[in-house]
Amino acid sequence: MANSHRQEKLGELIAVELSDLMRTRLKDPRVGFASITHVEVSGDFRHAKIFVSVMGSPEDQAATMKGLKHASGYLRHELAERITLRYMPELVFKLDTSIAEGAKVLELIRQNEQEQH
């Protein structure tokens, strides 16, 4: 089922506010070079999947995701202070590997072009 306009707008708002919170309020050193790429809000507005891109090694990525999971309650509370909703969605962080996969595809295309010349 397609997302409603309200779900999309709430997802965008959550992404903006969470990005700001992660940059200014979150002091966990594990959450270093993380960027929110997309937010999916469930139809009942009770859950939000936060897709995060993390720079670094797989170990850095795992540590960042662990730090975000640990901070999810705090981040949810801070979001509730910034966004007026009846229920603040539960935050579930997911690693977004699409940027890394795209970079691999581009590298393969470059290699293929070099082999043809």
Query: Under a CB-based contact definition with an 8 Å cutoff, are residues 94 and 50 in contact?
Result: yes
- Averaged in consecutive runs of 10 residues, what is the pLDDT profile of the chain (117 residues)? 82 95 88 89 95 90 94 95 92 89 84 83
**Please, what is the Cα angle at 10 between 6 and 12, to 5 degrees?**
120
Q: Residue 2's pLDDT is what?
A: 55
| Closest by CA position to 8, among listed 49, 47, 40, 48 | 40
Asked if 33 and 56 count as a contact pair (C-beta separation under 8 A), the reply is yes
Fold held by 5-116: GMP Synthetase; Chain A, domain 3 (3.30.300)
pLDDT of residue 1: 47
**What amino acid is encoded at 20 in this protein?**
D
Spacing of C-alpha 35 from chain mean position:
6
Overall pTM > 0.85: no
